[in-house]
Amino acid sequence: MNRLLLILAFLLPTSVLANEVHHTLLKRVVVFPISTDGKTIKNVDSSWWKIREALTENRRFLVASKKFMEQKDVFQPRGKLSPPDCILLGKLLDAHALISIELKDRTLVFYAYSAQDGFLLWKNTLLLHPSLPIEKQIEQATLGLTQQFVASIPYQGHQILDPLIGRDVYEEGDIHLAKVEIPMDSKVSSGDPIQWIRVTRQNPGALFINGGLVTVIAEGRVIKKERNILTVQVERQKDLNILRKNTPIRFPQEEKRLQKLLSESTRLSLDIVKSEMKSRDTKSQETKPLLTALASIANIAVFILLAF
């Protein structure tokens, strides 16, 4: 059985490029410990926990626990992964996406892989500031990259089965309705336009950057919102039968809001770095007079000794 999985893992990436593959909704995510090239760096463990918190808050994703990963014997730092490794790990952990982060010197690289085909979903590289200790930047840097990854996902919700009717799309009078689940912190409201989309991989590049094609397959509008569950009306569609459970849903207004929040978060991170550098410069300026005074005292002492 394991040999069969291994053969499939090596053959699948090639078949993916030869055939049109539709992206599977991301719900279950695995985050591996941060790779530091064998070096011991403070705050790396706490950074890993903060990444998990950022992904699980507001019920956005289900993230594998440390205990679960230890039971599967995969809880270890990982950097860049190959497509076969991603596919095998995805099957082992029943995951939709795998996240690995590596730190080499002061270069931090964030990888998000699809467990479906083993290729990249998203990747970004961040050069940590050379004037600040790594342990004072690592948490903010990894959290910022995580937020960028979330903002890069081209959908902000997904279709679910109506819990009472048990159908993907149902009728009320002459209109077609469906249920959609969104994160708890979403600002989507009644009247907002929505789009059912299909994301198709075009090349082995990062799917959410330049490796995919987003196609709108239906359009509609939010009718009612109850916490994180929406009732939506289907207004334009090519085929009602393709509007099924787990179909990705894009909210254009919510997408703009998330991009704005990301920009504000990036500016805040820069302000924190500038503030930290200013604090270090202030301490340096405060220390200089003391060092000058000590040097003067030392020179006087030497002069007195020479005099005798």
* Reported confidence tier of residue 298, pLDDT bands at 50, 70, 90: very low
Reply yes or no on whether the pLDDT at 25 is more than 60. Answer: yes
Reply yes or no on whether the pLDDT at 13 is more than 80. Answer: no
Residue 145, amino acid = L
**In terms of pLDDT, which residue wins out, 302 or 131?**
131
Chain centroid, CA 15 distance in Å: 27
- 154 burial class (0-12, 13-18, 19+ CB within 10 angstroms)? middle
* Contact predicate 248/154, CB 8 Å: yes
Residue 177, amino acid = L
Cα(111)–Cα(99) distance, integer angstroms: 6
SS3 218: strand
Reply yes or no on whether the pLDDT at 303 is more than 90. Answer: no
Place of tokens 């941060």: 34
**In terms of pLDDT, which residue wins out, 292 or 68?**
68
Chain centroid, CA 122 distance in Å: 8
Residue ranges of domains in the chain: 2-153, 157-254
* Contact predicate 125/107, CB 8 Å: yes
Residues 213-248 pLDDT 10s: 999 999 999 999 999 999 999 999 989 999 999 999
Protein fold of 2-153: Rossmann fold (3.40.50)
Cα(111)–Cα(4) distance, integer angstroms: 27
**Nearest in space to 106 (alpha carbons), one of 203, 36, 44:** 36
Chain centroid, CA 53 distance in Å: 11
Residues 94-123 pLDDT 10s: 999 999 999 999 999 999 999 999 999 999
CATH code for residues 157-254: 2.40.30.230
Average pLDDT over residues 72-93: 97
- The pTM of the full predicted model, rounded to 2 decimals, is 0.81
